[in-house]
């Protein structure tokens, strides 16, 4: 027998696999489709992540972004910056100070002389910063990676605007200044290693130094600076940040960003779809494994007599298992190959925008290894599960297989017989609830064969989780209440007075106008004040929002709102200063020392997640102010905001909901795309699985259906019983999936956000009930019924008399 196995085993395996593939085309085709989808999504997601990482790294090589930067608006002491650099010369490779001219999007228009087309950039809500090329690092590069040097009268626009507005070489970009219009000829687009991420709130235009001087003299721009530092190899940007903030006298009126934060933002903002594809793939792999387990067990039951005969003539168990394993290994291999080839096409399409915004990712060994590893993981997982299920061949006894046609041993057969006897006693037809014999038979059949029908509810539960989790994230991020996760109260209007010379005067005039407006109520101003406090690497800057927080509804993960002598910290700030609720923190503002106690820790995504809230009132001297107001009588926030935006164009008055869209718009769009992908693939797989399952069940239940047909049940009644059973199990699975998504799914999502260190650790879903609890369940039930319709269509034409003899 050993000689037989060695010489003929491989040929026997392949011949059996080929014959089975031909004999069960429908079942095998369905399995292959699921495996292709699983491999396709896994390979596509991994390739997009690898390409994104490669693009970000290549742009970093070309542009040499800073390891630490501090944005600033207002006056600054250049000598203090030079002293700081001299004191830390051992840590620094280079440093620079970049001046920028900021313009509102409404001040920028464009025209295409060749065609007469024109437009403006008013729809853009990001900061438009005009700069000159840097000399040592943080270069703005063209599509080839070359450092760009525009001539006088030329401008290179960000790739974002080239894509959004179709700007191209030869167009004229006109800037409205206090002294008139300043036209510049568009010469091309630039890639920005510092502000390339789609979540970046700013974007840079590159111009010649002569045009920069002319725009500076013309007025109408907000002058800003970025202080940037490149560290020596192995330098710690967090340590440099702590030293910078602890030095005192340095410009700090703006956002602080480190190199690692830039890379994380880039990966999250542009890689979200890739992560979603991987998540969808993992769920589909779970579904594929559950189906394979079901199909293999069913195949063993169908072939039990043949297996018994093979064992009776001395064929080893491993050879018999190998007959089946070869087929599933071939199916999995085919799915991985086809899925991998499709993934190449899909990944190229999905990464076009990424490689345009960042850089052309280099092709290296990981370009090939990453998708191959992903596909190999899919193959090994699937084959490993198949091998485990096929161990059941060892437990098949020859006598039971040949005489009783059972895959169970004597003890298991006896237990099943006792269990079925109990079912018969407890589920007699007369005791079943409900009217109608067909309905009673369907319910009794489900109760008697519950384990055989367990596949469908599990698959539909997983599918419900798959399609509802992304939808819940989209509706949560779009909901007005989500602003409380941004460290802000849920109010109608928001105005930000910042990054300009006369913030106190503008704030006072805005408050006076709002207080006199009968349409507005509960007008409140909050001041941003910079303190320092003890952190792990020394004293660090702590920017606090000072005002009346008594009725704020921000999301606290621990503790609550601050009162006199207390402070509330964001999650990331609490970690940075290593404090928790009840701990004391010493704030310093110049020579003044203020001890405060931590009242609560809240969730916040804004300002890098590093914010704080203090009670009190600051009337002047703050670096920035935020003003909130509600509308009396439910007026139109957008209309009122437009009026105030015209009166106070530098105050940034807008509806709070619009602020939410501007902050998270790109993220929401990416999530919405992921939600559509999950919905389409989820429904498609649900239909496939239902069809596969019913095909196997109808094949196995032919004798039973033949008996029912012989005693008078019509085809319509038989089909109705199948539909009712399918509807019941699909509904049960869908309900279970929705419950899981709303509970455990919410917890898993919170854990993922916490791991990403975005500033959120406990997310509460705000679902769209009409979508998640009405439309999606209806779609899933419809997918199940469509699968029934496809599989029961052939019953009417079938010869029922043949079923009785099977």
Cα 777 to the chain's mean position, in Å? 22
pLDDT average, residue stretch 643-649: 85
Among 618, 622, 628, smallest CA distance to 652 is for 628
Measured distance CA(141)–CA(460) in Å, rounded = 50
Q: Which of the residue ranges 44-53, 79-88, 499-508 has the most confident prediction, judged by mean pLDDT?
A: 79-88
pLDDT average, residue stretch 167-186: 90
CA dihedral 161, 162, 166, 168 (to 10 degrees): 130
Q: Is the pLDDT of residue 433 over 50?
A: no
- pLDDT at res. 732: 92
144-155 per-position pLDDT tens digit: 889 999 999 999
pLDDT average, residue stretch 450-470: 86
Q: Which of the residue ranges 326-330, 770-774, 789-793 has the most confident prediction, judged by mean pLDDT?
A: 770-774
Query: What 8-state DSSP symbol labels residue 560?
Result: -
- pLDDT at res. 341: 93
354-366 per-position pLDDT tens digit: 777 777 778 888 8
- pLDDT at res. 504: 86
265-311 per-position pLDDT tens digit: 766 666 666 777 777 778 878 887 887 777 777 777 777 777 777 77
Q: What share of the chain is helix, strand, coil (3-state, %, to 5)?
A: 55, 20, 25
Among 55, 50, 47, 56, smallest CA distance to 346 is for 47
- pLDDT at res. 38: 83
Would you place residue 1 in the very low, low, confident or very high pLDDT band (cuts 50, 70, 90)? very low
Measured distance CA(350)–CA(340) in Å, rounded = 15
Q: Is the pLDDT of residue 90 over 70?
A: yes
Q: Is the pLDDT of residue 464 over 50?
A: yes
Backbone angles phi, psi at 805, to 5 degrees: -85, -5
Q: For a pLDDT cut of 70, what percent of the chain falls above it? A: 84
Would you place residue 412 in the very low, low, confident or very high pLDDT band (cuts 50, 70, 90)? low
559-605 per-position pLDDT tens digit: 989 999 999 999 988 988 889 999 999 898 877 888 999 999 998 87
- Top pLDDT among 664 and 236 is at 236
- pLDDT at res. 172: 92
Q: Is the pLDDT of residue 337 over 60?
A: yes
- pLDDT at res. 35: 86
Measured distance CA(28)–CA(38) in Å, rounded = 15
Q: Is the pLDDT of residue 370 over 60?
A: yes
Measured distance CA(703)–CA(709) in Å, rounded = 10
Would you place residue 11 in the very low, low, confident or very high pLDDT band (cuts 50, 70, 90)? low
Measured distance CA(491)–CA(627) in Å, rounded = 10
Q: To which H or E segment does residue 74 belong?
A: none
- pLDDT at res. 434: 41
Among 135, 92, 356, 359, smallest CA distance to 233 is for 92
pTM: 0.77
- pLDDT at res. 211: 93
Q: Is the pLDDT of residue 754 over 70?
A: yes
Measured distance CA(677)–CA(279) in Å, rounded = 11
Mean pLDDT score across all residues of the chain: 81
The helix/strand/coil state of 69 is strand
Would you place residue 3 in the very low, low, confident or very high pLDDT band (cuts 50, 70, 90)? very low
- pLDDT at res. 432: 46
pLDDT average, residue stretch 608-630: 85
- pLDDT at res. 745: 85
660-718 per-position pLDDT tens digit: 777 777 678 778 888 888 898 889 888 888 887 887 777 766 667 766 766 767 777 77
Would you place residue 183 in the very low, low, confident or very high pLDDT band (cuts 50, 70, 90)? very high
- pLDDT at res. 604: 84
- pLDDT at res. 405: 55
Measured distance CA(184)–CA(170) in Å, rounded = 10
pLDDT average, residue stretch 169-194: 89
Q: What beta strand segments (E) does 75-116 contain?
A: 92-103, 108-112
Question: Which of 180-189, 259-268, 376-385 is predicted with the least confidence, judged by mean pLDDT?
Answer: 259-268
- pLDDT at res. 245: 78
CB-CB contact of 767 with 671 (8 Å): no
Q: Is the pLDDT of residue 518 over 80?
A: yes
Q: Which of the residue ranges 29-33, 181-185, 244-248, 795-799 has the most confident prediction, judged by mean pLDDT?
A: 181-185
- pLDDT at res. 799: 57
18-29 per-position pLDDT tens digit: 666 666 677 777
Contacts of 787-790 spanning 24+ positions with Cβ under 8 A:
787/686, 787/687, 787/688, 787/689, 787/690, 787/691, 787/693, 787/694, 787/726, 788/690, 788/694, 788/719, 788/722, 788/723, 788/726, 790/687, 790/691
Measured distance CA(428)–CA(440) in Å, rounded = 10
Query: What 8-state DSSP symbol labels residue 492?
Result: S
Q: Is the pLDDT of residue 790 over 70?
A: yes
């Amino acid at each position: 027998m050993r000689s037989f196995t060695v010489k003929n085993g491989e040929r026997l395996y392949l011949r059996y696999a080929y014959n089975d593939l031909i004999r069960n085309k429908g079942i095998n085709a369905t399995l292959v489709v699921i495996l292709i989808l699983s491999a396709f999504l896994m390979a596509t997601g991994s390739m997009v992540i690898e390409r994104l990482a490669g693009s970000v790294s290549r742009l970093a090589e070309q542009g040499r972004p800073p390891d630490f930067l501090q944005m600033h608006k207002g006056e600054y002491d250049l000598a203090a910056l030079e002293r700081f650099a001299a004191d830390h010369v051992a840590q620094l490779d280079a440093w620079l100070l970049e001046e920028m001219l900021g313009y509102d999007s409404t001040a920028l228009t464009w025209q295409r002389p060749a065609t007469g087309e024109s437009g403006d950039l008013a729809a853009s809500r990001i900061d438009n910063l005009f700069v000159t090329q840097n000399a040592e690092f943080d270069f703005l590069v063209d599509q080839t990676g070359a450092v760009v040097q525009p001539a006088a009268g030329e401008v290179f626009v960000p790739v974002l605007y080239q894509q959004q507005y179709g700007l191209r070489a030869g167009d004229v970009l006109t800037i409205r200044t206090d002294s008139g219009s300043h036209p510049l000829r568009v010469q091309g687009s630039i890639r920005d290693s510092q502000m390339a991420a789609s979540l970046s709130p700013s974007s840079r235009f590159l111009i010649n130094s002569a045009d920069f001087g002319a725009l500076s003299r013309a007025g109408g721009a907000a002058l800003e600076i970025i202080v940037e530092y490149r560290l020596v190899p192995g330098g710690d940007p967090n340590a440099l940040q702590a030293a910078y903030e602890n030095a005192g006298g340095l410009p700090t009126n703006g956002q602080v960003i480190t190199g690692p934060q830039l890379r994380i933002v880039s990966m999250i903002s542009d890689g979200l779809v890739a992560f979603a594809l991987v998540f969808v793939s993992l769920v589909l792999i779970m579904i594929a494994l559950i189906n394979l387990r079901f199909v293999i067990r069913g195949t063993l039951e169908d072939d039990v007599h043949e297996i018994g005969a093979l064992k009776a003539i001395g064929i080893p168990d491993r050879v018999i298992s190998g007959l089946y394993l070869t087929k599933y290994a071939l199916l999995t291999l085919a799915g991985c190959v086809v899925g991998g080839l499709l993934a190449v096409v899909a990944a190229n399409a999905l990464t076009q925008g990424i490689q345009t915004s960042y850089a052309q990712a280099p092709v290296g060994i990981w370009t090939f290894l990453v998708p191959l590893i992903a596909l190999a993981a899919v193959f090994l997982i699937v084959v490993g599960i198949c091998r485990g299920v096929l161990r059941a061949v060892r437990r098949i006894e020859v006598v039971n297989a040949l005489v009783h046609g059972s895959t169970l041993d004597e003890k298991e057969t006896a237990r099943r017989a006792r269990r079925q006897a109990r079912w018969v006693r407890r589920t007699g037809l007369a005791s079943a609830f409900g009217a109608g014999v067909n309905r009673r038979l369907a319910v009794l059949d489900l109760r008697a064969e519950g384990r055989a029908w367990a596949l469908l509810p599990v698959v539909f539960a997983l599918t419900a989780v798959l399609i509802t989790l992304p939808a819940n994230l989209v509706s949560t991020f779009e909901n007005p209440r989500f602003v409380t996760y941004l460290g802000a109260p849920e109010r109608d209007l928001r105005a930000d007075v910042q990054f300009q010379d006369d913030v106190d005067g503008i704030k006072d005039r805005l408050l006076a106008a709002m207080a006199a407006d009968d349409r507005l109520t509960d007008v409140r101003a909050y001041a941003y004040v910079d303190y320092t406090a003890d952190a792990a690497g020394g004293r660090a800057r702590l920017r606090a929002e000072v005002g009346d927080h008594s009725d704020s509804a921000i999301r606290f993960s621990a503790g609550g709102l601050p009162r006199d002598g207390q402070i509330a910290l964001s999650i990331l700030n609490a970690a940075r200063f290593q404090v928790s609720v009840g701990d004391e923190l010493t704030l310093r503002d110049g020579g003044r020392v203020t001890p405060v106690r931590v009242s609560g820790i809240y969730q916040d995504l804004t300002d890098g997640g590093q914010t704080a809230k203090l009670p009190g009132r600051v009337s002047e001297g703050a670096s920035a102010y935020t003003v909130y107001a509600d509308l009396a009588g439910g007026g139109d926030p957008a209309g009122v905001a437009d009026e105030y935006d015209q009166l106070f164009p530098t105050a940034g008055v807008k509806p709070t909901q619009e602020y939410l869209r501007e902050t998270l718009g790109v993220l929401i769009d990416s999530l919405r795309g992921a939600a559509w992908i999950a919905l389409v693939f989820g429904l498609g797989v649900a239909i496939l699985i239902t069809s596969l399952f019913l095909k196997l069940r109808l094949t196995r239940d032919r004798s039973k259906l033949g008996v029912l047909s012989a005693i008078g049940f019509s085809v319509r009644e038989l089909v109705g019983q199948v539909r009712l059973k399918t509807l019941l199990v699909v509904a049960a699975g869908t309900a279970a999936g929705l419950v899981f998504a709303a509970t455990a799914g919410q917890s898993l999502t919170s854990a993922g956000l916490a791991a990403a260190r975005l500033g959120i650790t406990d997310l509460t879903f705000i679902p769209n009930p009409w979508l998640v609890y009405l439309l999606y369940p209806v779609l899933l039930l419809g997918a199940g019924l469509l699968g029934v319709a496809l599989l029961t269509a052939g019953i009417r034409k079938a010869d029922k008399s043949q079923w009785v003899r099977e």
